[in-house]
Amino acid sequence: MAKDKKLVEAITSMEDDFAQWYTDVVKKADLMDYTSVKGCMVLKPAGYALWENIQKEADARFKATGVENVYLPMFIPESLLQKEKDHVEGFAPEVAWVTHGGLEPLQERLCVRPTSETLFCDFYAKEIQSYRDLPKVYNQWCSVVRWEKETRPFLRSREFLWQEGHTAHATAEEAEERTELMLNLYADFCEEVLAIPVIRGRKTEKEKFAGAEATYTIEALMHDGKALQSGTSHNFGDGFAKAFNIQYTDKDNKLQYVHQTSWGISTRLIGGIIMVHGDNSGLVLPPRIAPVQVMIIPIAQHKEGVLETAAKLKEALADFRVKVDDSEKSPGWKFSEAEMRGIPVRIEIGPKDIEANQAVIVRRDTREKQIVSLDELKAQVANTLETMQKDMLERARAHRDKHTYIAKNYEEFKETVAHKPGFVKAMWCGDQACEDKIKEETTATARCMPFEQEKISDVCVCCGKPAKAMVYWGKAY
């Protein structure tokens, strides 16, 4: 490995400086680049291909639950943004304003959507008249803008790509069902496709979405012990419906307000993939999401038959996303590049291998090498990809569990947050004063009240009053 490492520019070791390691990886794995506009990035082919695969997998899952895709404008008139009080308070401080169209000043300024609740409400108010028009289960894939002061690639940028689902239902029960359905869909998607284990739970009042009655969240633990909010699903009740007057006539010919939800995941998930699976040689991509699953690297490719055999192997492996690196670089360099880019499996094939009717398979995550007969290559690659996918989830789960602590009193809590990066499970009275105090004194925030509650003690870890819920606490991105 030492020799390989010299071949590509070394990246900072994550033990030395996790933040720098992250920045190095996103750059050197060629996922993104910075631009002249602060906080706005270029998603390069390797980064965008990850997003395309996320879109494809998630979109199919959405559609299987009846979601239909639409596209709404990127501009929101200021008066529309202001219709729901909590919502505008939450977003107005961080939106970008368009004030001129062409050479003329606009009569009313427009914000570039930070999220599209208000637009969907405006649309639904016209679309929905009768119970026959319900439910509406719409989603859009688009970019949104939030004028953040501090930005980091994928984790927090001024413009980012996401999907936002917005639904309207006849009853509160149906809206609640959809909110939970999508949260669980996100969680399953993260675990099955991205190999990222998540805690499913509910946000506290303090942490919930601006305008929501309830926000559900999936929280993942990164390699450095910090939490990443990885997807959220909101139940709005009829709050937006009342602000925007979205009413329908029910079967008894009575006017009723609709009940609404919204839910989203974003390119932030790419940050999660990096920080859950990456190592000191770069990215490690779960096979199911990897744009290139198998890289065939010819050894001594100038020798007769090597490139031809590599091409034949590529054809034999056409069921997978496979490439041959027949560039003029050295094999060692190519190994390191494939590692840096996180390609799950590399296959080495040279003249001696061809003679022996075999190839070498190397797994990216464990670096385990296997000599495989060419006749069994396809089966073995399939097997390796599948095993790697499972192992990555299990490894991430083990890491998370190992870094999940319990605190029974405030001393323990502070001690743990200060010295043991990870989740802390502790009881809470439900009072925001305690949440505020904890945040101020430890910088940890309430990540969520998990659906799977445990009773750690009877009293709040902070104030000692009777506890209402067990909470996952942690420092977060």
**By the criterion CB under 8 A, which residues form the site for its own copies?**
33, 35-37, 40-45, 48-49, 51-52, 68-77, 80, 93-103, 110, 112, 119, 122-123, 126-127, 138, 142-143, 145, 147, 158-159, 161
Burial 285-314 (b: 16+ CB within 10 A, else e): bbbbbbbbbbbbbbbebeeeebeebbeebb
Nearer of residues 119 and 467 to its own copies, judged by Cβ: 119
Nearer of residues 100 and 455 to its own copies, judged by Cβ: 100
Nearer of residues 129 and 432 to its own copies, judged by Cβ: 129
Distance CA 55, CA 57 (A): 6
Nearer of residues 159 and 219 to its own copies, judged by Cβ: 159
Pull the structure tokens for residue 423. Answer: 């989740």
Residue 276: name the closest of 197, 340, 223, 198 by CA.
223
Pull the structure tokens for residue 160. Answer: 């980012």
Pull the structure tokens for residue 73. Answer: 């404008």
The least CB distance from residue 371 to its own copies, in Å, is 33
The least CB distance from residue 34 to its own copies, in Å, is 9
- What single DSSP character describes residue 476? B
Helix axes 45-64, 268-277, angle to 10 degrees: 110
The least CB distance from residue 19 to its own copies, in Å, is 23
Nearer of residues 72 and 310 to its own copies, judged by Cβ: 72
Cβ atoms 196, 451 nearer than 8 A: no
The least CB distance from residue 455 to its own copies, in Å, is 43
Distance CA 163, CA 215 (A): 17
Nearer of residues 77 and 430 to its own copies, judged by Cβ: 77
Cβ atoms 272, 194 nearer than 8 A: yes
Q: What single-letter amino acid sits at 344?
A: P
The least CB distance from residue 52 to its own copies, in Å, is 6
| H helix intervals, 403-452 | 410-419, 432-442
The least CB distance from residue 314 to its own copies, in Å, is 16
Torsion region of 325: left, alpha or beta (phi above 0 gives left; psi -120 to 50 gives alpha): beta
The least CB distance from residue 284 to its own copies, in Å, is 22
Distance CA 168, CA 160 (A): 25
Nearer of residues 93 and 454 to its own copies, judged by Cβ: 93
Distance CA 163, CA 256 (A): 29
The least CB distance from residue 108 to its own copies, in Å, is 9
Residue 444: name the closest of 412, 398, 400, 399 by CA.
412
